[in-house]
């Protein structure tokens, strides 16, 4: 009887689910340490003000209060570092203003932390914080990028003239200008990418703990990358050496980017627990999440495309203003540059591209990577522009895409904006998506909808993205202050079970399952005998965490490298036991076999020998079967695909319903199809949210109005259609698994598909473009032409 | 939430008298005691610290306040403490007042409907994001002006919005006003009074800091509905940005009394999320009365319903939305 | 005129019946049921994600009905039977909805999951054979940022099939 198939390609049920489903998940706020105190952060309710003083006397005298700290108390503590330095067009470095842990001198956004109260209970800390008297002198504030760059705009930082963080460019301006000068047609589009709030369901939380007898600090935190936090906080903020600082990120309830960054509260609880020699917990309330978790997107762009008479793309010119918020979050500067402008070739062989990106400070929450990070901005701009080009030139939307696709025999393909794509087949994903979505049958569905008084539209996007940002040498030359490799430690235990220690993390992607499948597959060990451990710097050698859909492509590849070492060593042990030459020993399905014979040893037997080395080549080989590998990828991976969206609009109310959605993605090799489907559906849900519902609304004074779950509208169960998910695979050519990444494709491919469908539905109204979210208000205004005043 | 004491009186009179009590929806933001029905909106206001009472008076221990009964004449009384689930699922409500059942069944989600009460729903405070923001000291909180009128007013009023642009938050109220419901109020001396729900709500022109006519030491105890005349047809429709669990952008209740000859004798057309109080569209009602209602009359009434509207900078879209909903609600009532 | 008895504002004795066990607590009246479950009783399976009644992550049962524990005062739950996610399974045997959630990949990060399961299980108690629309209505108040809704609906329908 064959064993059930559990390896790469099997839809294994998730190992993590039993604890989640029974209420035994282990999230930071579920942890309580003996003698734990609670911190409450007093935050600015002003968008921009001088901080003239804080009277802490009444708060300090409040029941249960142990300490009250303001910036004056944080002597010797550094500011929060930024992990990426961008250079201006003229070669000078970006403006990089200080980002204090607690505001000092000025507050710059609503939510800026000004003081921390530590008390015996959370409620006591909160009650005492009410008694802090903060003396502010209000300053004029600026909330949007367009306002921030106006002459005379309020200045967020003294060191950033005109509120500009950097003014950066990429591509060949001369070639683009020349192409535009001689183009048969040009198309221009102004568009925005709406500001989003990630809103992972688990609010951020942190617990600091200090052991005075060993001098060791422990930080439990809701993080996607505990080692990065240890490095940034230890080295730059608190100057705690790594060997005395343990960072634990247990189960994390969603992140979507927002839990990558090093936040002030992590430093505060670590520092305060050391000072008080008692554990200190902080857990965000949802309103704090809204005003302190990094937001996403927020671009205003102009895009121009030059075309030949036959519709061939000749050149692309893009100018983007992007919002950094009030301070630079950990990876913020990289998002609108190396994760956005470098993606502007998309799936098209446009020969010349030039992009200018100006990053701007405003009195808003810092903006950083959110699911997709830069690539959704690029795909939205490009896929809208291509639809508009088709419309303006009278070409078919599908044909203009096919005509300009990078053909599948052109790989590796060097784009004009730095990236080199390794593999892809954009025709295959397009054809499959059109087939699954029944694109050809759409006219009949449109006619049927019209008969019921509904406007039906169909739209597509043929997007491309880049995952697993790398290699370290290249990102270093582009301004990254970190390496972007990954680490795996594979420990084969004496009786043959395996523990895998990975430097990546999981905040819902099911890595405990997929990574176990991968190891089970490669080592021939039963799935149930493989355990994946992540999220604890005291267990895992090092790691860069999870973001940019990197965990399998980079973390999984590190595992393969570590397993290669296990197998290499295992062959030597097997050769010794089987009295054969090492070269003659093959490893397959968990067995070391002398080629051409039936003499073999299982991995368990080899492991036992390695740990009980009685009959062992001890002169040449150390005992044990435990290997670590660091893997630095040669390149990004390039998932891509085609999303097709079909909407119906009630012309009388402006309400849009997504009635069909088809996603066909090339995510490289699929390890667990069930999990891939969930990841794609989840990404599409967030993409539909961006396209139709979500919008962070600031008023002119920098107050966040959409600051609750009732005011910031996200998709619920009734907003999502049945999302059909398919895959068409080309393998990544430069990593050992051929995987590309699936965590973000849904959020990258779907927004332009939705808006292209909405615009198509409104084609009778002469609509060329509308910005996200496509709210009933906007649709109705388009249908009506201009806002009508009161009847009669 | 501030610290508060908790009282659980056994009778309405005791509840009304217990302290200087006032009902949750009419208190200014620093009253010393509040009544708690289901407590959903109250807890929200407490968590925002827009209310910081010294005493919360729980009404749930009072027996009989959640009864739904019918008298010999066929009139129905709904106890103020009946939960939204109880009301929406009750055969008397579903049978005689389906528009009310629909309006309530579409409110919030099932978990909240299991706890929220009809009385509390009518008395909840508006969901204006300026009103609920601690950072905005608006007119209704004793401040200098309404931030919405020149601000982010996409969800705000299109009628009676020159002083304060809140919209009434209750879809149940839209249906109940259309049904000419009355509220029963009980004071600390044990006296009761009844008044039409329509008159119970207070607009900003009458008093900017209150939303209803509840007096100090008065408790809303019941909602009374007359037996519908034979030939009564009704419907409630809502439209939000999302299908479920969202405040409506617009909601409309229509109640039509159709004679045996097919002529509309009486019409109620009420718009919710349109004005600071449920907005009775009299011109729409007149457009229906005395006519054989159908597509044409529905269209006329729908257009008439928006007469006198004064949309703000960002909410003119509501005109079309309401026009459509009114027409559809009339046709749905007739269907 | 009699005056009603007052509790608080300081800590007051409250008895809660949680998962079949009677628990004596000392709580301020302002304590929510969610806080009492998590912080005082250590039943951290119940999650607080918005604390304002807008996401349903904190759903528990009161006398078998799903309610939001973040919008319920603990003192109001006295005298009612409280069931939390920790009390849903019968010993080792998961509730059919829990089994179906695993089978249908109906969770990702797991944070909204306990509340989601309580709502779906309550639906099946009330309506053993719901359609997809009824499931969507039962979870209309939930937020799942991971976007598992289609799988949650499929799982609940499958659990209904499986239930005797």
User: Which pLDDT score, from 0 to 100, does residue B13 have?
Assistant: 83
Q: What is the mean pLDDT of residues A757-780?
A: 92
Please say if the pLDDT value at position A672 is more than 60.
Answer: yes
User: Which pLDDT score, from 0 to 100, does residue A84 have?
Assistant: 95
- Over the stretch B57-85, which tens digit does the pLDDT of each residue have? 999 989 999 999 999 999 999 999 999 99
Phi, psi angle pair for A681, to nearest 5°: -60, -40
3-state secondary structure of A56: coil
Within 8 A by CB and 6+ apart from A621, the residues are A569, A572, A573
Pick from C103, C110, C151: which is nearest to A20 by CB?
C110
Closest to A551 in 3D by CA, of A512, A589, A585: A512
Give CA–CA dist A649/A758, Å, rounded: 8
Give CA–CA dist A288/A728, Å, rounded: 42
Q: What is the mean pLDDT of residues A728-735?
A: 96
For residue B301, the enclosing domain spans 232-334
User: Which pLDDT score, from 0 to 100, does residue B22 have?
Assistant: 39
Q: What is the mean pLDDT of residues A48-53?
A: 97
Nearest residue on chain C to B54, alpha-carbon basis: C9
> Is A507 at the interface with chain C, CB within 8 A?
yes
Domain parsing of chain A, residue ranges: 36-139+204-283, 296-469+635-784, 485-631
Q: Which fold has domain A36-139+204-283?
A: Aldehyde Oxidoreductase; domain 3 (3.90.1170)
Chain B positions in Cβ-Cβ contact with residue C76 (cut-off 8 Å): 39, 58, 60
User: Which pLDDT score, from 0 to 100, does residue B209 have?
Assistant: 85
Closest to A468 in 3D by CA, of A329, A641, A635, A669: A635
Residue B240 lies inside a defined structural domain of this protein: yes
Would you list the DSSP string of A231-286?
A: HIIIIIII---GGGEEEE--B----TTTTTS--HHHHHHHHHHHHHTS-EEEE--H
User: Which pLDDT score, from 0 to 100, does residue A678 have?
Assistant: 96
> Is A451 at the interface with chain C, CB within 8 A?
no
Portion of chain B with pLDDT greater than 90, in percent: 75
Please say if the pLDDT value at position A785 is more than 80.
Answer: no
Please say if the pLDDT value at position A789 is more than 60.
Answer: no
Q: What is the mean pLDDT of residues A128-147?
A: 97
User: Which pLDDT score, from 0 to 100, does residue C2 have?
Assistant: 55
The confidence band for B34, taking pLDDT boundaries of 50, 70 and 90, is confident
Distances in Å between the Cα of A410 and the Cα atoms of A90, A349, A398, A414, C76 are 34, 10, 20, 9, 69
- Over the stretch B85-141, which tens digit does the pLDDT of each residue have? 999 999 999 999 999 999 999 888 899 999 999 999 999 999 998 998 888 899 998
User: Which pLDDT score, from 0 to 100, does residue A782 have?
Assistant: 84
> Which option is the CATH number for A485-631: 3.30.365.10, 1.10.8.60, 3.40.50.2300, 3.55.10.10?
3.30.365.10
- Over the stretch A206-228, which tens digit does the pLDDT of each residue have? 999 999 999 999 999 999 999 99
Would you list the DSSP string of B110-123?
A: HHHHTT-BHHHHHH
Chain A positions in Cβ-Cβ contact with residue C109 (cut-off 8 Å): 200-202, 251-254, 507-508
C-alpha distance from A705 to closest chain B C-alpha (Å): 6
Token pair in block for residue A129: 């914080």
Chain C positions in Cβ-Cβ contact with residue A674 (cut-off 8 Å): 105
Q: Between the CA atoms of A368, A370, A376 and A380, what dihedral angle is there, to the nearest 10 degrees?
A: -80
Please say if the pLDDT value at position B25 is more than 50.
Answer: no
Query: Domain with B283 in it: what CATH number?
Result: 3.30.390.50
Give CA–CA dist B256/B285, Å, rounded: 9
Residue B275 lies inside a defined structural domain of this protein: yes
Q: What is the mean pLDDT of residues A736-761?
A: 97
**What's chain A's average pLDDT?**
95
Q: Are residues A778 and A478 in contact, defined by beta-carbon separation less than 8 angstroms? A: no
Residue B13 lies inside a defined structural domain of this protein: yes
**Strand ranges for A296-429 from DSSP E:** 296-307, 313-325, 352-361, 413-414, 420-421
Q: What is the mean pLDDT of residues A575-597?
A: 96
Chain C positions in Cβ-Cβ contact with residue A199 (cut-off 8 Å): 143, 145
- Over the stretch A293-310, which tens digit does the pLDDT of each residue have? 999 999 999 999 999 999
Among positive and negative, which fits the CA dihedral A766, A771, A773, A776?
negative
Give CA–CA dist A500/A498, Å, rounded: 6
User: Which pLDDT score, from 0 to 100, does residue B243 have?
Assistant: 64
Please say if the pLDDT value at position A790 is more than 70.
Answer: no
User: Which pLDDT score, from 0 to 100, does residue A149 have?
Assistant: 97
The confidence band for A4, taking pLDDT boundaries of 50, 70 and 90, is confident
10 Å CB burial of residue A428 (0-12, 13-18, 19+) is middle
Q: Which residues pair with B100 in a beta bridge?
A: none
Please say if the pLDDT value at position A1 is more than 50.
Answer: no
Q: What is the mean pLDDT of residues B278-288?
A: 97
3-state secondary structure of A155: coil
The DSSP element (H or E) to which A682 belongs, if any, is helix A673-688
Q: What is the mean pLDDT of residues B241-252?
A: 81
C140/B245 Cβ within 8 A? yes
B127/A777 Cβ within 8 A? no
B55/C6 Cβ within 8 A? yes
Pick from A27, A199, A677: which is nearest to C145 by CB?
A199
pLDDT in tens, chain C (164 residues): 456 678 989 999 999 999 999 999 999 999 999 999 999 999 999 999 999 999 999 999 999 999 999 999 999 999 999 999 999 998 889 999 999 999 999 999 999 999 999 999 999 999 999 999 999 999 999 999 999 999 999 999 999 998 65
A509/C46 Cβ within 8 A? no
Q: What is the mean pLDDT of residues A267-294?
A: 97
Q: Provide the phi-psi class of B217: left if phi over 0, else alpha when psi is between -120 and 50, else beta.
A: left
Closest to A80 in 3D by CA, of A217, A223, A265, A256: A265
Please say if the pLDDT value at position A38 is more than 90.
Answer: yes
Q: What is the mean pLDDT of residues A678-696?
A: 96
Q: Which fold has domain A296-469+635-784?
A: Aldehyde Oxidoreductase; domain 4 (3.30.365)
Q: What is the pTM of this model?
A: 0.95
Domains assigned to chain C: 12-86 (3.10.20.30), 96-162 (1.10.150.120)
A791/B151 Cβ within 8 A? no
**For chain C, how are helix, strand and coil distributed in percent, rounded to 5?**
35, 20, 45
Q: What is the mean pLDDT of residues A81-99?
A: 97
How many CB pairs below 8 Å do chains B and C form together?
Answer: 106
Please indicate whether the domains covering A36-139+204-283 and A485-631 agree at the CATH topology level: no
Could you tell me whether strands A723-727 and A655-666 are parallel, antiparallel, or unpaired per DSSP bridges? parallel
- Over the stretch C42-74, which tens digit does the pLDDT of each residue have? 999 999 999 999 999 999 999 999 999 999 999
C-alpha distance from B159 to closest chain C C-alpha (Å): 28
Q: Are residues A305 and A187 in contact, defined by beta-carbon separation less than 8 angstroms? A: yes
- Over the stretch A469-483, which tens digit does the pLDDT of each residue have? 889 988 998 999 989
Chain A positions in Cβ-Cβ contact with residue C92 (cut-off 8 Å): none
Domains identified in chain B, total number: 2
Helix axes B317-334, B295-305, angle to 10 degrees: 140
Query: Domain with B9 in it: what CATH number?
Result: 3.30.43
User: Which pLDDT score, from 0 to 100, does residue B108 have?
Assistant: 84
How many CB pairs below 8 Å do chains A and B form together?
Answer: 96
Q: What is the mean pLDDT of residues A77-86?
A: 95
3-state secondary structure of A348: strand
Phi, psi angle pair for A196, to nearest 5°: -125, 155
Chain A positions in Cβ-Cβ contact with residue C45 (cut-off 8 Å): 22-25
Portion of chain B with pLDDT greater than 70, in percent: 95
């Amino acid at each position: 009887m064959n064993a059930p198939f559990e390896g790469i390609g099997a839809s294994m049920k998730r190992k993590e689910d039993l604890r989640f489903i029974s209420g035994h998940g282990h999230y930071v706020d579920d942890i309580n340490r003996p003698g734990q105190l609670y911190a409450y952060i007093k935050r600015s309710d002003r968008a921009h003000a001088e901080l003239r003083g804080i009277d802490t006397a009444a708060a300090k005298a409040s029941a249960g209060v142990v300490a009250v700290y303001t910036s004056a108390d944080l002597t010797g503590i550094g500011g929060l570092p930024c992990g990426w330095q961008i250079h201006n067009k003229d070669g000078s470095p970006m403006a990089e203003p200080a980002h204090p842990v607690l505001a000092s001198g000025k507050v710059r956004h609503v939510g800026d932390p000004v003081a921390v109260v530590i008390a015996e209970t959370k409620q006591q800390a909160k009650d005492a914080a009410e008694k802090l008297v903060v003396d502010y002198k209000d300053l004029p504030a600026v909330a949007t990028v367009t306002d921030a760059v106006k002459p005379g705009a309020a200045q967020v930082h003294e060191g950033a003239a005109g509120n500009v963080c950097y003014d950066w460019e990429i591509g060949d301006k001369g070639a683009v200008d020349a192409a535009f000068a001689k183009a048969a047609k040009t198309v221009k589009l102004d568009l925005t990418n709406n500001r989003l709030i990630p809103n992972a369901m688990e609010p951020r939380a942190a617990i600091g703990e200090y052991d005075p007898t060993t001098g060791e600090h422990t930080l439990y935190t809701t993080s996607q990358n505990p080692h990065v936090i240890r490095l940034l906080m230890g080295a730059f903020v608190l100057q705690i050496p790594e060997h005395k600082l343990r960072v634990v990120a247990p189960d994390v309830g969603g992140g979507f980017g927002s839990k990558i960054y090093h936040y002030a509260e992590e430093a505060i609880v670590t520092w305060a627990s050391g000072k008080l020699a008692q554990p200190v917990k902080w857990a965000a309330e949802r309103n704090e999440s809204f005003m302190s978790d990094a937001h996403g997107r927020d671009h205003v762009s102009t895009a121009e495309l030059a075309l030949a008479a036959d519709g061939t793309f000749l050149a692309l010119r893009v100018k983007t203003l992007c919002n950094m918020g009030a301070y630079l979050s950990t990876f913020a500067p990289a998002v609108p540059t190396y994760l956005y402008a470098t993606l502007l070739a998309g799936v098209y062989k446009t020969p010349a591209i030039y992009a200018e990106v100006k990053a701007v400070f405003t009195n808003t929450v810092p903006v950083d990577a959110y699911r997709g990070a830069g690539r959704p901005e690029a795909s939205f701009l490009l896929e809208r522009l291509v639809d508009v080009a088709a419309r303006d030139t009278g070409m078919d939307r599908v044909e203009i895409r096919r005509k300009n696709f990078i053909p599948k025999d052109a790989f590796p393909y060097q784009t004009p904006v730095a990236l080199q794509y390794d593999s892809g087949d954009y025709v295959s994903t397009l054809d499959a998506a059109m087939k699954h979505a029944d694109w050809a049958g759409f006219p009949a569905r449109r006619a049927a909808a019209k008969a019921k008084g509904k406007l039906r539209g169909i739209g597509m996007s043929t997007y491309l993205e880049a995952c697993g940002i790398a290699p370290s040498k290249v990102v270093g030359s582009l301004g990254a202050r970190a390496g972007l490799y990954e680490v795996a430690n594979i420990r084969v235990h004496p009786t043959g079970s395996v523990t895998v220690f990975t430097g990546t993390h999981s905040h819902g992607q099911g890595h405990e399952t997929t990574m176990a499948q991968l190891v089970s597959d490669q080592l021939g060990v039963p799935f149930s005998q493989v355990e994946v451990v992540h999220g604890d710097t005291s267990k895992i050698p090092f790691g860069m965490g999870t973001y940019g859909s990197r965990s399998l492509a980079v973390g999984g590849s590190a595992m393969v490298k570590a397993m290669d070492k296990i197998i290499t060593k295992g062959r030597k042990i097997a050769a010794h036991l089987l009295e054969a030459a090492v070269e003659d020993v093959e490893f397959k399905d968990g067995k070391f076999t002398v080629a051409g014979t039936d003499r073999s040893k299982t991995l368990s037997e080899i492991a036992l020998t390695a740990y009980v080395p009685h009959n062992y080549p001890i002169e040449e080989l150390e005992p044990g079967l435990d290997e670590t590998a660091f893997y630095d990828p040669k390149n990004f991976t390039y998932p891509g695909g085609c999303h097709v969206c079909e909407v119906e609009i009630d012309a009388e109310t402006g309400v849009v319903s997504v009635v069909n959605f088809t996603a066909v993605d090339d995510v490289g090799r699929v390890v667990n199809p069930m999990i891939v489907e969930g990841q794609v559906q989840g990404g599409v849900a967030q993409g539909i949210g961006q396209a139709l519902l979500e919008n962070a609304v600031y008023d002119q004074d920098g107050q966040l109005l959409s600051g609750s779950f009732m005011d910031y509208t996200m998709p619920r169960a009734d907003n999502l259609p049945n999302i059909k998910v398919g895959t068409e695979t080309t393998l990544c050519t430069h990593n050992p698994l051929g995987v590309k990444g699936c965590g973000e494709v849904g959020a990258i491919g779907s927004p332009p598909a939705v808006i292209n469908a909405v615009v198509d539905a409104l084609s009778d109204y002469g609509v060329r473009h509308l910005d996200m979210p496509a709210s009933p208000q906007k649709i109705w205004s388009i249908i009506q032409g201009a806002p009508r005043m009161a009847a009669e | 939430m501030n610290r508060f004491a908790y009282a659980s009186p056994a009778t309405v009179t005791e509840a009304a008298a217990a302290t200087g009590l006032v009902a949750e929806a009419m208190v200014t933001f620093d009253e010393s005691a509040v009544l708690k029905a289901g407590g959903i909106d109250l807890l929200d206001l407490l968590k925002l610290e827009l209310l910081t009472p010294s005493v919360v008076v729980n009404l749930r221990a009072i027996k009989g306040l959640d009864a739904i009964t019918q008298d010999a004449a066929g009139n129905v009384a709904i106890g103020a403490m009946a939960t939204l689930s109880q009301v929406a699922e009750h055969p008397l409500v579903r049978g005689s007042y389906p528009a009310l059942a629909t309006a309530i069944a579409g409110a919030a989600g099932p978990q909240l409907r299991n706890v929220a009460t009809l009385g509390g729903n009518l008395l909840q405070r508006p969901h204006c994001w300026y009103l609920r923001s601690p950072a905005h000291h608006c007119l209704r909180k004793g401040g200098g002006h309404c931030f919405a009128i020149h601000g982010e007013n996409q969800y705000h009023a299109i009628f009676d919005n020159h002083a304060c642009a809140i919209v009434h938050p209750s879809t149940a109220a839209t249906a109940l006003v259309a049904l000419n419901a009355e509220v029963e109020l009980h004071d600390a001396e044990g006296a009761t009074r009844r008044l039409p729900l329509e008159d119970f709500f207070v607009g900003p022109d009458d008093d900017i800091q209150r939303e209803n006519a509840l007096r100090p030491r008065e408790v809303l105890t019941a909602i009374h509905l007359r037996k519908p005349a034979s030939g009564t047809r009704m419907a409630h429709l809502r439209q939000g940005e999302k299908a479920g669990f969202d405040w409506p952008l617009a909601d409309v209740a229509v109640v039509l009394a159709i004679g045996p000859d097919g002529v509309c004798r009486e019409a109620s057309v009420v718009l919710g999320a349109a004005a600071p109080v449920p907005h009775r569209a009299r011109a729409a009602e007149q457009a229906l009365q005395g006519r054989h209602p159908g597509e044409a009359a529905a269209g006329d009434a729908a257009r008439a319903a928006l007469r006198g509207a004064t949309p703000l900078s960002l909410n003119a879209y509501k005109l079309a939305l309401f026009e459509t909903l009114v027409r559809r609600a009339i046709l749905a009532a007739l269907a | 005129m009699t005056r009603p008895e007052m509790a608080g504002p300081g800590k007051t004795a409250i008895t809660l019946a949680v998962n079949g066990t009677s628990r004596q607590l000392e709580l301020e009246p302002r304590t929510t049921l969610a806080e009492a479950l998590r912080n005082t009783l250590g039943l951290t399976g119940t999650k607080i994600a918005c604390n304002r009644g807008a996401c349903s992550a904190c759903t528990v049962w009161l006398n078998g009905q799903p309610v939001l524990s973040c919008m319920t005062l603990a003192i109001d739950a006295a005298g009612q039977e409280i069931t939390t996610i920790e009390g849903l399974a019968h010993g080792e045997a998961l509730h059919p909805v829990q089994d179906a959630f695993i089978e249908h990949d109906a969770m990702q990060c797991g944070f909204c999951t306990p509340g989601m399961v309580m709502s779906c299980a309550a639906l099946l108690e009330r309506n053993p054979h719901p359609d997809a629309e009824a499931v969507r209505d039962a979870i209309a108040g939930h937020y799942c940022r991971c976007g598992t809704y289609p799988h949650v609906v499929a799982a609940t329908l499958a659990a209904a099939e499986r239930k005797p």
